[in-house]
Amino acid sequence: MFLTKLSVHRPVTTLMCSLIVLILGYTALDRLPIDLLPEFTYPSLTIEAVYEGAGPEEVETQIARPLEQAVSTVSGVEEVASFVTEANARVIARFAWGTDLDEAASDMRARVERARRSLPDEVEPPVVRKYNSNDRPLLYVVYKMDPDQDLIAASQYAEETLLPMLERIEGVAAANIRGHHRREIQVNLDRNKLQALNMSVNEIVAALQRESINQPAGNYEQGNIQLLVRSKGEFQNLKEMEQSIVRTGEESVIKLMDVAEIIDGEEERTERTRINGEPGILFMVYQQTGTNTVEVSDQIREAIENYNMASQRGELIVQFDRADFIRDSILNMEETGLYGMALAIVVLFVFLQNLRSTIVISISIPLAILATIVLLYFKGFTLNLVTLGGLTLGIGLLVDNSIVVIESIFRKIDDGLDPTTAAIEGTSEVSSAIVASTLTTLIVFLPLLFIEGRTGMTLEQMAWVVSFSLFCSLVSSLSLTPTLTAYWLKQGGSSREDSSGERKRSFNPLRPVHRLNAGLINLLEKTYQAILCFCLRHTNGVAFGLLLSFSLCVGLMPRIGTEYFPETDEGDLLIIARMASGIQVEQLNQQAVALEKLISTGVPEEKLVATTVGGTASDADDWNESIYRVKFPKKSERTRSIEDIRKEMAENIGAMPGMKVTVRTNSQSGMGMMISDDGNGGKLRLEIRGHNIDRSEQIADRLVARLETIPGLINVEADKQDRRPEMSARINREKASLMGVSVSDISQALETSVKGTQAIVYREEGDEFNVLVRLDPSDRAKITDVEQVGVASASGAIVPLRNLIEFEREEVPMNIRRYDKERILQVDADLEDRDLGSVVQDVSREISQMQLPDGYSIHIAGNWKEQQESFEALTFGLVLAIILMYMVMASQFESLWDPLMILISLPLGVIGVVLTLWFTGTTLNVQSFIGLIILSGIVVNNAIVMVDYLNQLRGEGKFADLNELILFGSVRRFRPIMMTTLTTVLAMLPIAFGLGEGSEVQAPMARVVVGGLVSGTLITLIAIPLIYRNSCRWRGKKTTAA
């Protein structure tokens, strides 16, 4: 072969090329970004529109529906979903994978702009944005205040000092603050005094706005200098505000202090945040797109550590760091890869019985890995669980070609050829076989590049990594391996310990080990020869046994569970507690404190509990929720899994009065986005579709009752349109018009009385604080109090609100979900001790027994839908891979029959796959399915090597008896086949054990490959010789008959 001749005759050039690859690889490795998963752009665009003051139903009718209509006309849109809350509409358009989102976004902005003409004038311009995987916080940082620290002062310090400090860190895009206390100047109006003075609340607001003004007055020229003149009429202190005049009459002057009390207080808080029960302020830190997650996290942690060492004001605590799981997972994968590499090298040493030969073959591992690292760098990939898993997966495969080459070279040396000639001829003899076996492994990845969706994102980078590393190992085996064998092993002789008399006489401390290994290998070869002889004599019985084993394994397949993606143990629990809609924050907080104590004592493990009660002022749909993020030590530092902890936590919490508590495992690292669109949602999701929402809610109640009877389903909850109580003030326009009162004045007076009106801004030492004008709390305790508030008419008379409005109590939805232009209700549930596939079977049976009204339907969505789509795509990929493998082998053997004979090893490998999945309790998921596809390209390699060698022996014509030929060839190939199998199996064994952080992701794939390769190889060593003999006899008879 030209490459081998060139390499052997130019050893220095070959060595320099290898060193160049090593240097470039180390350089790229140092600069390669680290992340948990590949960066991806989810094919969706989101349109957000804000309509201040509008309720969910108004937003749905006037905003969501017109936007849905506009979005549906954009090319490539497959689904349109909407989520409507108070004053906000979010419309999500999902496109086909592979859509150019930049072009789609441009088209959508144009459609939305045209649709804007039909929207109310008060609607803010809709914003179109893409999904970004960095939209989730990288870190949650809690500012734990000193016990004696003033809350408002601490919050101001956090907002003015700590927040900018975090945002200045390189790689940080933004940081949001939650749970802080903001100073507010409150003007509490006395309703009785206003009535006595015949004043309205609007008059006070207008007076404050009139009395506090900063306004430029123009430029003034003084000599050669041009001065800007500015009138500074803002209040300099609260005393001035109290003394400000709100009305001037003929007989009296009314000051603000005469009708109101000015309080230097704090804004009304709709949320509370605590860390381990102590008040704290929460920072959510976001990273910039394209930055190294681990590096940004390290810089943030360094800044926090420096602050804690230098500052005397409170303490910053990292409550959650998405990079922690990434660090641990990557480190664990690196360690398992090194363990696998060590085991593979030990196998080589045991079989080769020669240290130099072992080193020669082992060199191909780091060389191929570092060459692949260069590819990752220039392709723009990150070092993540997928790419690193692909590298680790390929460790055992990287030495297979070199094993076959060096074994062939040693046979030539034993035949008397000099090392240089033996290196060239030995490599050329097996080059076609190793090229074919490598191509069959590589060809299985070609169909995977056509798979779309989240599964396709995982497969694309893995396909590149494994394919390129195997290509590099092939090049190394055809160039570097024969070169090193020819020159470095000249004095080492062959792999056999006794091949040189000089070596016999020289002292070798490893000679006893080599003799033991040689005896063990010879015993294995003789045992195999005896078994094969027996099988050749009893072909029918052996064939029946193999078919029976395969049939039994097929019968076991229904017992293997299925799921979309393996779950990871990140050591996080998410506990969500909901109370009735409209509950007061203080009441919610009281229950939250009680639940917090149960969480703190619920399980013995050390934990960090971060509590958020309520929501921000703009998140009214969260005001009845308290959320607890519970962080436990990482998996290797615990004796129990996070699922076991979750079960005990849920049992100890039990039922809370007036509160619905859900305890589930949490995935914040990003793995949850691989598992579902909503990382915090249930593992099972159903959608109820129909035109009448009330009827849908009735169906949801019936469905929930049925689901709760299914074993393994927990946290069954219908996301019905929670309704909160609302007091609607309906303005009597006729009366208002007759009395000369505008609707605007009525609404303003009502807002000032209840919510309060931000009249002006009070500035002090460069800071701004809102000045809120509002009725005194005692004057707005009841609706009847609000009804007495007066509004000025056109004639100056004060008209009570009760003469202009009528209050009606009603319930309005907090949020509305829509899918494909119709309302839907979601039912979510979590799984416990059961797989998704078996649960869905029970759920489907229950749904089929429900009688639904015409026009209503129940759909299983979420993970199940993704699983079905992925399995369908992967099945297509597997079938296409097998077809392509057949074509490659047919081209190599120039035969249509030999490839069919080799493909028999595929169902034989399935026996080990089924048994491995069943014994280990592993589900059939996307990762194990990928392992099945990879296995199909690996398991046939041994059969290729054996059939190719048997064909060579037949072509040489040295054996008259076919059985003798098969025995000789099979035993001769036994050693390299066992070496390649054991190196691959042992290299993947540490991954298959699933130990350490993040191991759950790659373990199913490794178990499939290990189980299938072990059974496939052992059975191939028996089945292929039998099939080969029968094939030769059949073809011989056919030739004779012709």
Half-sphere exposure of 259 (CA within 13 A, CB side): 29
Its sign, for the CA torsion 384, 390, 395, 399, is negative
The pLDDT of residue 301: 94
The pLDDT of residue 501: 41
> Quick check: 59 and 86 in contact, CB under 8 A?
yes
Nearest to 97 by CA among 449, 564, 386: 449
Phi, psi (5° rounding) for residue 228?
A: -90, 125
Nearest to 664 by CA among 682, 686, 684, 638: 682
In the predicted model, is pLDDT for residue 653 greater than 80?
yes
Whole-model pTM: value is 0.80
* Full set of structural domains in the chain with CATH: 1-31+353-495 (1.20.1640.10), 44-131 (3.30.70.1430), 135-182+269-325 (3.30.70.1320), 184-212+228-266+725-813 (3.30.2090.10), 523-566+863-1042 (1.20.1640.10), 571-666 (3.30.70.1430)
Nearest to 386 by CA among 909, 906, 34, 757: 34
**Is residue 348 left, alpha or beta, with left meaning phi > 0 and alpha meaning psi from -120 to 50?**
alpha
The pLDDT of residue 1035: 67
> Quick check: 1035 and 898 in contact, CB under 8 A?
no
Confidence of residue 873 (pLDDT cuts 50, 70, 90): confident
* Residue partners of 545: CB distance under 8 A and separation at least 6: none
Instruction: Quote the CA–CA distance of 794 and 797 in Å, as a whole number.
Output: 7
CB < 8 Å & 24+ apart, contacts of 313-317: 313/146, 313/149, 313/154, 313/157, 314/143, 314/144, 314/145, 314/146, 314/149, 314/154, 315/143, 315/144, 316/141, 316/142, 316/143, 316/144, 316/162, 317/141, 317/142, 317/143, 317/144, 317/275, 317/280, 317/608
Nearest to 592 by CA among 830, 271, 319: 271
Instruction: Quote the CA–CA distance of 841 and 847 in Å, as a whole number.
Output: 10
The pLDDT of residue 190: 92
Confidence of residue 285 (pLDDT cuts 50, 70, 90): very high
Instruction: Quote the CA–CA distance of 437 and 429 in Å, as a whole number.
Output: 14
From 308-312, 341-345, 1004-1008, the region with the lowest mean pLDDT: 341-345
More confident call, 917 vs 434:
917
More confident call, 8 vs 673:
8
> Quick check: 858 and 687 in contact, CB under 8 A?
yes
The pLDDT of residue 620: 56
Q: H or E element: which one contains 1004?
A: helix 999-1041
The pLDDT of residue 502: 44
Cα distances (Å, whole numbers) of residue 365 to 358, 361, 935: 12, 8, 20
* Residue partners of 92: CB distance under 8 A and separation at least 6: 44, 45, 46, 47, 80, 81, 82, 83
DSSP state for residue 169 in the 8-state scheme:
S
Mean pLDDT of the chain: 84
- Token pair 């907090």 is at which residue? 814
The pLDDT of residue 314: 84
User: Got the DSSP string for 671-718?
Assistant: HHHHH-SSTTS-SEEEEEE-S-HHHHHHHHHHHHHHHTTSTTEEEEEE
Mean pLDDT (whole number) for 119-128: 87
The pLDDT of residue 523: 87
Instruction: Quote the CA–CA distance of 838 and 845 in Å, as a whole number.
Output: 11
The pLDDT of residue 484: 87
Q: Tell me which range, 378-392, 606-620, 962-976, is most confidently predicted by mean pLDDT.
A: 962-976
Cα distances (Å, whole numbers) of residue 869 to 536, 819, 880: 45, 19, 17
**Pairing state of beta strands 88-95 and 77-85?**
antiparallel
Confidence of residue 503 (pLDDT cuts 50, 70, 90): very low
The pLDDT of residue 1: 67
Nearest to 839 by CA among 654, 682, 674, 688: 682
**Can you read off the two tokens belonging to residue 929?**
């399915």
> Quick check: 92 and 81 in contact, CB under 8 A?
yes
The pLDDT of residue 1031: 81
- Token pair 């005001």 is at which residue? 623
Using one digit for the tens of pLDDT, what is the confidence trace for 64-85?
999 999 988 888 888 899 988 8
CB < 8 Å & 24+ apart, contacts of 889-892: 889/436, 889/440, 889/940, 889/944, 892/432, 892/435, 892/436, 892/439, 892/944
* Residue partners of 216: CB distance under 8 A and separation at least 6: 228, 229, 230, 231
Using one digit for the tens of pLDDT, what is the confidence trace for 900-911?
888 877 887 888
Instruction: Quote the CA–CA distance of 872 and 876 in Å, as a whole number.
Output: 6
Phi, psi (5° rounding) for residue 663?
A: -115, 120
From 211-225, 494-508, 723-737, the region with the lowest mean pLDDT: 494-508
- Please state at what angle helix 419-443 crosses helix 453-478, rounded to 10 degrees: 170
Identity at 530, one-letter amino acid code: A
Instruction: Quote the CA–CA distance of 374 and 437 in Å, as a whole number.
Output: 25
Instruction: Quote the CA–CA distance of 771 and 186 in Å, as a whole number.
Output: 6
Reduced 3-state DSSP string for 332-369 = HHHHHHHHHHHHHHHHHHHHHCCHHHHHHHHCHHHHHH
Phi, psi (5° rounding) for residue 583?
A: -65, 145
The pLDDT of residue 514: 66
Using one digit for the tens of pLDDT, what is the confidence trace for 1011-1021?
988 888 888 88
Using one digit for the tens of pLDDT, what is the confidence trace for 805-822?
888 887 777 788 888 888
Using one digit for the tens of pLDDT, what is the confidence trace for 564-586?
888 888 888 999 998 887 788 88
**Can you read off the two tokens belonging to residue 517?**
């290994």
From 25-34, 220-229, 743-752, the region with the lowest mean pLDDT: 220-229
pLDDT above 90 covers a percentage of the chain that reads 12
Instruction: Quote the CA–CA distance of 641 and 134 in Å, as a whole number.
Output: 28
Instruction: Quote the CA–CA distance of 774 and 759 in Å, as a whole number.
Output: 10
From 195-204, 499-508, 659-668, 962-971, the region with the lowest mean pLDDT: 499-508
The pLDDT of residue 305: 93
In the predicted model, is pLDDT for residue 62 greater than 70?
yes
* Residue partners of 990: CB distance under 8 A and separation at least 6: 335, 336, 337, 339, 340, 343
User: Got the DSSP string for 108-164?
Assistant: HHHHHHHHGGGS-TTSPPPEEEE--GGGS-SEEEEEE--TTS-HHHHHHHIIIIIHH
**Helix, strand, coil tally for the chain in percent (to 5):** 55, 20, 25
Confidence of residue 721 (pLDDT cuts 50, 70, 90): low
- Token pair 């309005």 is at which residue? 812
The pLDDT of residue 675: 46
Q: No. of H helices and E strands in the chain?
A: 37, 30
